Amino acid sequence: MSIWWSLHLRREAASVPLARRFLLGTMETAGVDPDISFDLSVALSEACANAVEHGGGRRAGEDKEGPGDQGVPQGRWDVWDELPGAASGRYRVTAYLDGEKCRIEVADSGPGFPARCTLRTAAQQHEPQQYPSLTAEDGRGLCLIEQLADHVHFGNRPGSGAVVSFDKVLKWRKDALLMVS
């Protein structure tokens, strides 16, 4: 069984629970274990909240090549091409339930991640990692995504924009209608 969907959302706070509910509904219908569904929905909420808060960079009329962009066409992504001049006001969520794994990707048109962002696998989860201080007002979302998912990748789209992708092995309810064959 495979299920795939993509949402093109405005960078507004109301889009975060919408994406979360869409994922939860899909997973419930498919018969995914509620604990796995909850973990993925929290990770998705954090990724969407980051896209809403940090995901804008270009504004209308800024689709021209800059000094470092020679040869790199602007409007590199279909969602941004569909909405000329609106790139800074949108982000995209894509989810794949394929076989025994769910993969989620959240992409925006913001400034992207610093060069230090890397792929972390389950084996690397035990390595020492720098977390925000206990008194920090923000900065915990990406760490939370890493703790809830099996594999996480923080990257940048060519030009501008961040991409957060993560996956998790699925467990199924005993009464699941769409079990993996």
pLDDT at 60: 37
pLDDT at 129: 55
pLDDT of 46 > 90? The answer is yes
Q: Residue 43 in contact with residue 145, Cβ under 8 Å? A: yes
What is the model's pTM?
0.74
pLDDT of 119 > 70? The answer is no
Interatomic CA distance for residues 155 and 47, integer angstroms: 12
pLDDT tens track for 138-173:
667 888 999 999 999 999 988 789 999 999 999 999
pLDDT tens track for 67-96:
443 333 333 344 444 444 445 689 999 999
pLDDT at 71: 37
pLDDT band at 8 (very low <50, low <70, confident <90, very high): very high
